[in-house]
Amino acid sequence: MNTVVKGTIFDIKRYAIHDGPGIRTTVFFKGCPLRCLWCHNPEGIDTRHEIVLRLKRCAPSCTACLSVCKKSALSKKSGVIQIDRIKCNLCGKCEEACLYEALEVAGREATVDDILNEIEKDKVFYDQSGGGVTFSGGEPLCQPEFLDAILDGLKKREMHVALDTSGFAPFETLEKIAGKVNLILYDLKLADDEKHKKFTGVSNQVILENLSALARNGYPIIVRVPVIPGVNDDRENTLKTAKFLLSLKNVQRISLLPYHKGGCEKYQRLGKEGFFGTYPSPSDERINEIQKTFENFGFSVRRGG
């Protein structure tokens, strides 16, 4: 009997224009080995499902969710809902009962066919715009069997496929997937290893080694650099990153991704405010300076994905 390959995703974004060329569908995988303090998709870090609470949508007088919670994980104090995340078993009953879409379970199980069917819906837009599908996260390489099975299912569909990755994975896993996609969007956060550990929780040694190996083997790469003030926007990091990338081939472009505070409200929704940092957005002047530095090294640079 054939085994149905399944995985966990937390979102599918249609008509995406910042995750590779053209109009795309971006599939967000759940689970990531990094703990970047500026993460804008914190619901993608944990491999497990998580309950999301949008307090602004919750009606103070409504108790529909409380009546269906068998674990007594929900309560209300002065009209404000409280979640005991230890008691919660993520059954999803509260999400079903909520009349205002204030409660949601982040993460859902999906089969390969589920993903392929969703991707197929907008094939006409991919064909017209030169777009396709992008696998992002979280970190897609945290679920290599699921991703590999989806890519095999895409072979006959003649779509442009991109992988958005941190590069933190065994190279054998990364190269197997790289051989089945058209473009790699490779996130490069910090050149200094100690700072990388401080702000992401892991060493950058594997990340840099994997990027070098991908370039040597001829895979098409766009390097994506998030710009976070006070973390990696200094000239020293920019120069060190540029000098490292200068030694590589097949880097088609550098994309600068200015930090935004879109993730901050998500931290609150997940009850994880204390796990992440809050940073100012970089000024246009600072972005221009970083762009100019990379361009002086001969790189093509774009602001945004």
pLDDT, tens digit, for every residue of 222-257?
999 999 999 999 999 999 999 999 999 889 999 999
Residue 212 lies in a domain: yes
Residue 201 lies in a domain: yes
> Are the CB atoms for 136 and 28 separated by under 8 Å?
yes
**Total tally of structural domains belonging to the chain:** 2
Query: Are 99 and 213 found together in one domain?
Result: no
Q: Is 156 helix (H, G, I), strand (E, B) or coil?
A: helix
Query: Are 117 and 26 found together in one domain?
Result: yes
| Strand spans (E) along the chain | 6-16, 24-29, 50-53, 74-77, 80-83, 103-106, 108-111, 132-137, 160-165, 183-187, 221-227, 251-258, 301-303
pLDDT of residue 193: 98
> Are the CB atoms for 138 and 182 separated by under 8 Å?
no
Query: Are 62 and 178 found together in one domain?
Result: no
The CATH number of whichever domain residue 101 belongs to comes to 3.30.70.20
Q: Which of 90, 106, 122 is the last residue of a domain?
A: 106
pLDDT of residue 1: 41
Domain that holds residue 77: 50-106
pLDDT of residue 158: 87
For the chain, residues with pLDDT lower than 70 are 1-2
pTM for the whole thing? Answer: 0.94
- Give the amino acid at 223: V
pLDDT of residue 56: 93
Query: Are 242 and 215 found together in one domain?
Result: yes
Residue 131 lies in a domain: yes
Residue 253 lies in a domain: yes
Residue 1 lies in a domain: no
Residue 121 lies in a domain: yes
pLDDT of residue 89: 95
